[in-house]
Amino acid sequence: MTPGRLALTALAVLLAGCATAPVYQRPLVTVPAQWTVQEPWRESAPNDSIARGPWWQRFGDPQLNTLQEQAMAASPTLAVAAARLAQARSQVDAASAGLFPQLSLSSRLARQRISANRPLTNSTAPNSTPLQNDYALSFGVAYEADLWGRVQGGVDVARASAQQSTADFENVRLVLASDLAANYFNLRQLDIELDVLARSIALQRRALDLATARHDLGATSGLDVAQQQALLDTTLTQVDVLRRQRSQFEHAIATLVGTPAPLFALAAEAGPRIPPALPIGVPSDLLERRPDVASAERAVAAANAQIGIARAAYYPSFTLNPAVGVDSNTLSRLFDAPSLLWSLGVSLAQPLFDAGRVDANVEFTRAAYDAAVGNYRRVVLTAMQEVEDGVSGSAALDRALAQAQLAVASAEKVLQLANDRYEGGVASYLDVISAQQSLLNAQRQAAQLLGQRLLVSVFLVKALGGDWQGMPAGGQGAAMPPPVAAGR
């Protein structure tokens, strides 16, 4: 083999063996085969190719749908995420430009006088001070031969970062929608409780009128009237407390939808609400569906590409800088043949001694990669924990809500019996007051459990990474008994 061929073969082997970036593989995480589900939950078989749709529509609340649309259009938080996504995509275009030659056109137009006291270039020819024009036009090319993948590594980092920003944007949308739904259902829970209190106050006022009438007739003492008045005053105090809590949730909703709080108001609505059936899928779906998991995985890919960029500093860089142009002291002869000038060359830079800086940069990027892998695994574990909490919590709340509704019915019977016994003179009015308080507590507990059940549904949607568009609400997922509003 001739020396030339031997050199070419060695160069080819060198180029093939110096791929600086490690081959990227998604970090391995332990994923269980299924969730721990209880009846009536059952696993569904969603199709990840179907786009995630407006999951809040599953709750069947037109007011919530309107608020979600307003938030998606006017939320400042979402606008910030969209701007960051646009920045990340622009970075991909900027990094990709490094793969192509950079062309430049420059010109110069000057009239200049040269110093007579400048150093001599020829000892036999004295310096003069000419006054002359200078016209120049040049066209240059700059291109770095990306032999070691440094430029391509920058493109890979930018692309992975843009994909991460896309996932972050989707996560902001998901968090925004879930926060809005959570605040909305907290507000509606308070509406139900306020409705319960309003009906209890009406009942207690009627009882107060009855106790006052019996006292006026001399059938009872003033103690019955005082006890009933104290119960009524306590209930009225609770109304003010709940109204304050409601106003805070209303203000939070206003901020989420991009409206000043003083200009926003939601009318009270205490109608019955039914938590929707949700397709829970299998645990491995989270690796593709949750945007925060996707963001963490793309961060690992970007960190892996950064290792390649750091390693490329071990090898020489080659830059081509050809240029062609014209230069003349008169504009009329600028494009004549004698005015032509050109240059063609290659610049090479090879680090010889840097006191370990490149080694330190490589170790830094490796440590950053390890940190990204650890964060990815943490996010996956947290995601599975949140889904498992949502599934088990939903089943427990379903049972508690059904029991609370039975307790409301029992408390209503107790109150009726207490009233009958009191009117018949066989029981004290304290029994009536106790029965009224028990009914109020049971109704409020049922309302609170319904609110918690709706919140768990929202958090479960968030934990699952969204919903599958086009899936019927009752077709797959958990078949849950429809609860009714407390006290209805």
The pLDDT of residue 73: 92
The pLDDT of residue 256: 94
Which residues of the chain fall short of a pLDDT of 70? 1-20, 28, 30-52, 123, 127, 279-288, 468-488
Residues 439 and 483: their CA atoms lie apart, in Å, by 18
CA neighbor of 319 nearest in space, from 85, 142, 77? 142
Peptide bond into 40 cis (omega under 30): yes
DSSP code of 106?
E
Write down all domains in the chain, each with its CATH number in brackets.
20-100+147-314+363-464 (1.20.1600.10)
The token duo for 432 is: 């009536």
Q: Which residue has the tokens 């059940």?
A: 453
Q: What's the pTM value of the predicted model, to 2 decimals?
A: 0.76
The pLDDT of residue 224: 83
The pLDDT of residue 50: 47
The pLDDT of residue 361: 92
Residue type for 448, please?
A: Q
Q: How far is CA 50 from the centre of its chain?
A: 20
The pLDDT of residue 51: 52
Q: How far is CA 20 from the centre of its chain?
A: 33
The stretches of 217-290 forming alpha helices (DSSP H) are: 222-256, 286-289
* Per-position DSSP letters for 416-437, written without gaps between them: HHHHHHHHTTSS-HHHHHHHHH
The stretches of 266-340 forming alpha helices (DSSP H) are: 286-289, 291-312
